[in-house]
Amino acid sequence: MKHTNFFDIHKRLGAKIVSFAGFEMPIQYPKGILQEHMAVRERAGIFDVSHMGEVEVRGADALAFIQKISINDASKLEPGKAQYSAMCYPDGGVVDDMLVYHCGDYYMLVINGSNVEKDVAWMRENAEGFDIQLDDISDDISLLAIQGPRAIEILQPLTEANLNNISYYSFTTGELATVPMIISRTGYTGELGFELYFRGDQATAEAVWNAIMDAGASSGIEPVGLGARDTLRLEKGYCLYGNDIDQTTNPLEAGLGWITKINKGEFNGKEAIVRTKEEGPKRKLVGLKVQADKFIARHGYPVTANGEEVGTVTSGNISPILNTGIAMGYVRTDLATPGTIVNISARGKEFAAEVVKPPFL
């Protein structure tokens, strides 16, 4: 198993460590998932997300290549801007979701840690005929996310960059805690926040972490593990690859039509996506608000209506903010209207749930 440059810090803080995406990562710290979740919603949290993958794309055909492999329109990006996108197979199934950064004379693609090997192989397979250079820099990059309403007040004293001037899905390059990095106004919690991409050894990484924790001490910053990262993204209805989207998922089924630009030209999966658009998806990803107290809908639980299986749960947990069970899952399109009542089957019982349109908050 791999370790990020922050592993020793996680151990010192007493984190519960689990295997994730080929790394030993913190799932929670001693205060627990609920406290970590609330810290991000109310103050700020710091996440080690260095398991994520980063691929740099350079060359005369860099944009053309990205246009081929992605479903969003990267031609709309200007230097200093990023966009949420995804890669698809020819049949429309999702290879992975990702961020595309326009870094001036090159692009950076940020992919899910569990998919790095598969994604890079797919990129190289599609690179034939393009004048590009692909560099997988995943092992060179440390990545911290600082998320929460106090993120700016914590980070601003550590950098000369004006963080208030960085709009959502924009970024700048500069120093923070004296370390050169990309400072990106992105994140997967639904809160104000930044993601920091930088190179350096373990000592450099630990110095950045410690500087941020020191700067945020009076603002109530807390370290946050993978457990709260999942409950935070679920409350906002954000898809998790391997749960809510995968190689069997068409982007239009998953509610990703807003990043699918079918008029931009040819791209992988376009024909299948257009066909799904014309015919209408047979299933849709919806939010499910559980009606039963303390019931947690888990990935893979069947969704039923009138005694018939009509879908499946893809993600589920208790919402710390709403104090009730929430889930995401696929149901037949005719049952995807908000307000529809369905059942989630578990342990030989059925638990009622209301179809809602994400986000839950």
Task: Give the mean model confidence (pLDDT) for residues 192-210.
Answer: 98
Task: Give the mean model confidence (pLDDT) for residues 116-132.
Answer: 98
- Using alpha carbons, list the distances in angstroms from residue 44 to 14, 148, 153, 216: 19, 4, 10, 8
* Cα angle: 248, vertex 251, 253; to 5 degrees: 80
Task: Give the mean model confidence (pLDDT) for residues 269-279.
Answer: 98
Of 55, 58, 56, 88, which Cα lies nearest the Cα of 70?
88
Average pLDDT over the chain, rounded to an integer: 98
Per-residue pLDDT tens digits for 248-269: 999 999 999 999 999 999 999 9
What pLDDT does 25 receive? 98
Q: Identify the residue whose tokens are 């326009």.
A: 102
What pLDDT does 136 receive? 98
What pLDDT does 264 receive? 97
**Model confidence at 328, in pLDDT bands (50, 70, 90)?**
very high
Task: Give the mean model confidence (pLDDT) for residues 130-139.
Answer: 98
Q: Where are the domains of the chain?
A: 7-50+141-234, 53-137
Q: How far apart are CA 93 and CA 115, in angstroms?
A: 15
Task: Give the mean model confidence (pLDDT) for residues 240-254.
Answer: 98
Query: 87 with 119: CB under 8 angstroms?
Result: yes
Q: Identify the residue whose tokens are 């001037």.
A: 165
What pLDDT does 235 receive? 98
Task: Give the mean model confidence (pLDDT) for residues 23-49.
Answer: 98
* Domain 53-137 in CATH 1.10.1520.10: no
Q: Which residues pair with 328 in a beta bridge?
A: 287, 315
- Using alpha carbons, list the distances in angstroms from residue 111 to 38, 96, 223, 334: 27, 7, 23, 33
Asked if omega into 338 is within 30° of 0 (cis), the reply is no
- Given a cut of 90, is residue 291 above it in pLDDT? yes
117: tokens are: 């090997």
**Model confidence at 294, in pLDDT bands (50, 70, 90)?**
confident
Of 249, 250, 274, which Cα lies nearest the Cα of 262?
274
Task: Give the mean model confidence (pLDDT) for residues 188-207.
Answer: 98
**Model confidence at 221, in pLDDT bands (50, 70, 90)?**
very high
Question: Which amino acid is present at 164?
Answer: N
The total number of residues written for the chain in this structure: 361
Q: How far apart are CA 270 and CA 273, in angstroms?
A: 5
What pLDDT does 141 receive? 98
CATH superfamily name and code, 7-50+141-234 = Probable tRNA modification gtpase trme; domain 1 (3.30.1360.120)
- Given a cut of 90, is residue 127 above it in pLDDT? yes
Task: Give the mean model confidence (pLDDT) for residues 146-174.
Answer: 98
Task: Give the mean model confidence (pLDDT) for residues 48-53.
Answer: 98
If one counts every other C-beta atom within 10 angstroms of the C-beta of residue 77, the result is 20
Cβ-proximal residues to 214 (8 Å cutoff; 6+ apart), any chain:
none
Q: Identify the residue whose tokens are 């849709």.
A: 284
Q: Identify the residue whose tokens are 């609920």.
A: 34
Of 287, 298, 299, which Cα lies nearest the Cα of 246?
299
What pLDDT does 60 receive? 98
Helix (H) or strand (E) holding 232: helix 226-235
What pLDDT does 311 receive? 98
Beta strands 23-28; 16-20: pairing state: antiparallel
**Model confidence at 147, in pLDDT bands (50, 70, 90)?**
very high
Residue 348 burial class via C-beta count within 10 angstroms: exposed 0-12, middle 13-18, buried 19 and up: exposed
If one counts every other C-beta atom within 10 angstroms of the C-beta of residue 27, the result is 17
pTM beyond cutoff 0.85: yes
Task: Give the mean model confidence (pLDDT) for residues 172-189.
Answer: 98
Task: Give the mean model confidence (pLDDT) for residues 316-345.
Answer: 97
Q: How far apart are CA 278 and CA 250, in angstroms?
A: 13
Question: Which amino acid is present at 26?
Answer: P
Query: 101 with 56: CB under 8 angstroms?
Result: no
Question: Which amino acid is present at 86?
Answer: A
DSSP 85: E
